[in-house]
Amino acid sequence: MAHRYERIVILTGAGLSAESGLSTFRDKDGIWSKVRIEDVATPEAFARDPQGVLDFYNGRRNNSRGVEPNAAHAALARLEADYPGEVLTVTQNIDPLHERAGTTNLIHMHGEILKTLCHHCGARGPYDRDLMVHEACGHCGREGGLRPDVVWFGEMPYEMERIYAALGVCDLFISIGTSGNVYPAAGFVAEARGAGARTVELNLEPSEGISHFDEAIHGKATEVVPAYVERLLAG
């Protein structure tokens, strides 16, 4: 009898969007080989050089506009739509490719590049122009506080309670396209194992957390993810 999972949690990282043309962070030529985290991805950087941080994210926002979801995003949307059990996708990615492929049960734990957050009033909302430091918030009217709605190093990710609740009851955990370098996401596989879930890594190469996985299939996401989804859908 083929195993049917009741509750699947999927964690995705930058490697899922690599074949759509978006850079990863820690591969050769990755984002962090070109710019320093402490210069663009911390609250201190924003306080020190707000326009410099906005320029960095304006560039990444424009990149994410011009790209399309790939076969791996499409396969995950199909899994959510067609699999008889519940499927929750938790992404570390700030690009909109999961939702553009059709995934709906989705958490952007590091925020979304196409949204802004007002430092002053906390209002979040879509934004389709480059962010300028003196732009006034459409909600509270104050200037100098608009930032990309992206979680920086040292900040708490979004929806952690909902994520841990899902990890605590899942029976299959699939990690895709993430190096397992950044916590708390890097600790999710251990949470899932603690709940008795089967754990599977689909990645170009072994991640930092490889020893926690029951199964690992290494290769390009556009190849290994559709193949694994077909296996799940076949029962």
Residues with catalytic annotation? Answer: 110
User: In the numeric block, which tokens belong to residue 101?
Assistant: 């492929």
Least distance CB 148 / ligand APR (angstroms):
12
The letter for the amino acid at 76 is L
Q: Rule CB under 6 A: which of 32-61 touch ligand APR? A: none
Least distance CB 226 / ligand NAD (angstroms):
27
Least distance CB 26 / ligand NAD (angstroms):
7
Could you say whether residue 207 binds ligand APR (CB under 6 A)? yes
Q: How many whole angstroms from its chain centre is CA 41?
A: 15
Distances from the Cα of 82 to the Cαs of 41, 201, 207, in angstroms?
Answer: 37, 21, 29
Known binder of ligand: residue 214? no
55 binds, among ligand APR, ligand NAD, none (CB under 5 to 8 A by kind): none
Strand partners, 56: none
Angle between helices 71-82 and 221-234 (to 10 degrees): 20
Helix (H) or strand (E) holding 114: strand 111-118
Q: Are 90 and 151 in contact (CB under 8 A)?
A: no
In terms of Cα–Cα distance, which of 81, 105, 100, 150 is closest to 10?
105
Known binder of ligand: residue 170? no
Could you say whether residue 181 binds ligand NAD (CB under 6 A)? yes
SS3 68: coil
Could you say whether residue 182 binds ligand APR (CB under 6 A)? yes
Least distance CB 75 / ligand NAD (angstroms):
25
Going by the annotation, the residues of the binding site for NAD(+) are 13-32, 92-95, 177-179, 203-205, 221
Give the binding site for ligand NAD (CB under 6 A): 37-38, 41, 110, 150-157, 181-183
Give the binding site for ligand APR (CB under 6 A): 13-15, 18-19, 24-27, 30, 92, 110, 177-179, 181-182, 203-205, 207, 220-221
